[in-house]
């Protein structure tokens, strides 16, 4: 067996190529992450002259903070609904785009375009759609005689969070579709031909062949969509800023308002640390659980 060795000069050359990436990574990612753990133990308000070490006081206060508890609850509701509905729509869309449907290239583009739009554009567009008086949705309801269904979609605490769920699902269902479609196109056609010979119907083929072999893309979609929704900020802040009455307040919007509106950077950073472990634990658990059902 040939053993490759590198001279000292080659090691220096390799280190020279890696150095810029390592410096950028350390400066803009690793450094701030490690720094946040320190700032979360202080009462920093943005001015270093007034920063005092307070230990775990910020984390103790978080445990007693009712608004933060509501933000966690809203974050979990938002994540569960968006992830489930987005993937439930993504699979049928992918199946349709993998069939012999006409104009599927155009449809693929139409479904995927919302995913590449800025969250600000999506937020402002849907704010107009949801506008109580002259918004598109209420106007349509009045036109078809369903005046009793008209609502202040973003102004009513009962509907605000679920209205934003609809916005997020609309934007990213096409993204999930593309991942599922890529997976569908790797499934051997011989399996379906054998199933046809055995007399299996379309539903039986989906249940026994398609769905099990979609496991890798299901894992990817659920993990990516969970991380995205747990960290969602733009689309919520543009539409409701966490209101009304904290009905759409999530960990990200509360962190932003605490740190930058109230200038309580130490307390806000403590929220960020909790959120970091929150996202990390959920993502790790999903990967470990979902990968067990993948077919190798």
Give tens-digit pLDDT for 103-127.
Answer: 888 999 999 999 999 989 999 999 9
Burial class (CB in 10 A: 0-12, 13-18, 19+), 197: exposed
Per 3-state DSSP, the chain is made up of helix, strand and coil in percentages (nearest 5) of 75, 0, 25
Alpha helices by DSSP H, listed for 98-214, are 104-116, 119-130, 136-143, 160-184, 189-197, 202-205, 211-213
Greater confidence, 252 or 30? 252
Distance of alpha carbon 109 from alpha carbon 181, whole angstroms: 13
134 is written with which tokens? 């002259």
Q: What is the mean pLDDT of residues 4-29?
A: 83
Distance of alpha carbon 251 from alpha carbon 60, whole angstroms: 17
Q: What is the pTM of this model?
A: 0.89
The confidence band for 217, taking pLDDT boundaries of 50, 70 and 90, is very high
3 state DSSP class of 53? strand
Q: What is the mean pLDDT of residues 209-218?
A: 92
Q: Which residue has the tokens 């403590």?
A: 270
Specify the pLDDT at position 214: 93
Tens digits of residue pLDDT in 237-255: 999 999 899 999 999 999 9
Distance of alpha carbon 31 from alpha carbon 52, whole angstroms: 20
**Cα atoms in the 13 Å half-sphere on the side-chain side of 281:** 6
35-39, 45-49, 99-103, 213-217: which range is least confident on average? 45-49
Specify the pLDDT at position 117: 93
Nearest to 167 by CA among 241, 108, 92, 239: 239
Per-residue CA distances from 123 to 2, 127, 236, 237 (Å) = 59, 6, 8, 9
Domain 78-293 has CATH 1.10.3720.10: yes
Is residue 242 a contact partner of residue 232, using CB atoms and an 8 Å limit? no
Distance of alpha carbon 248 from alpha carbon 237, whole angstroms: 9
Q: What is the mean pLDDT of residues 279-296?
A: 84
Nearest to 87 by CA among 193, 233, 228: 228
């Amino acid at each position: 067996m040939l053993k490759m060795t590198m001279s000292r000069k080659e090691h220096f050359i390799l280190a020279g190529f890696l150095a810029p990436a390592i410096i950028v990574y350390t400066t803009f990612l690793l450094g701030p992450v490690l720094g946040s753990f320190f700032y979360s133990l202080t009462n920093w308000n943005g001015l270093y002259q007034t920063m005092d070490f307070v230990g775990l006081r910020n984390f103790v206060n978080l445990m007693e903070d009712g608004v933060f508890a509501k933000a966690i609850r809203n974050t979990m509701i938002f994540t569960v609904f968006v992830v489930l509905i987005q993937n439930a729509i993504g699979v049928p869309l992918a199946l349709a785009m993998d069939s012999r449907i006409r104009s599927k290239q155009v449809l693929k583009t139409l479904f995927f375009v919302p995913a590449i739009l800025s969250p600000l554009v999506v937020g402002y567009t849907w704010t107009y759609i949801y506008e109580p008086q002259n918004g598109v949705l209420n106007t349509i309801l009045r036109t078809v005689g369903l005046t009793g269904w008209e609502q202040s979609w973003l102004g009513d605490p009962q509907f605000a969070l679920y209205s934003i769920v609809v916005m997020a699902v609309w934007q990213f269902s096409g993204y999930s579709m593309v991942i599922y479609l890529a997976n569908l196109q790797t499934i051997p056609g011989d399996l379906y031909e054998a199933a046809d010979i055995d007399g299996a119907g379309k539903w039986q083929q989906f249940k026994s062949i398609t769905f099990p072999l979609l496991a890798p893309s299901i894992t990817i979609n659920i993990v990516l969509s969970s991380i995205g929704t747990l960290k969602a900020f733009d689309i919520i802040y543009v539409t409701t800023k966490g209101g009304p009455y904290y009905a759409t307040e999530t960990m990200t919007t509360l962190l932003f308002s605490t740190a930058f509106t109230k200038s309580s950077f130490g307390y806000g950073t403590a929220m960020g640390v909790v959120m970091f472990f929150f996202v990390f634990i959920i993502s790790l658990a999903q990967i470990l659980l979902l990968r067990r059902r993948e077919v190798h």
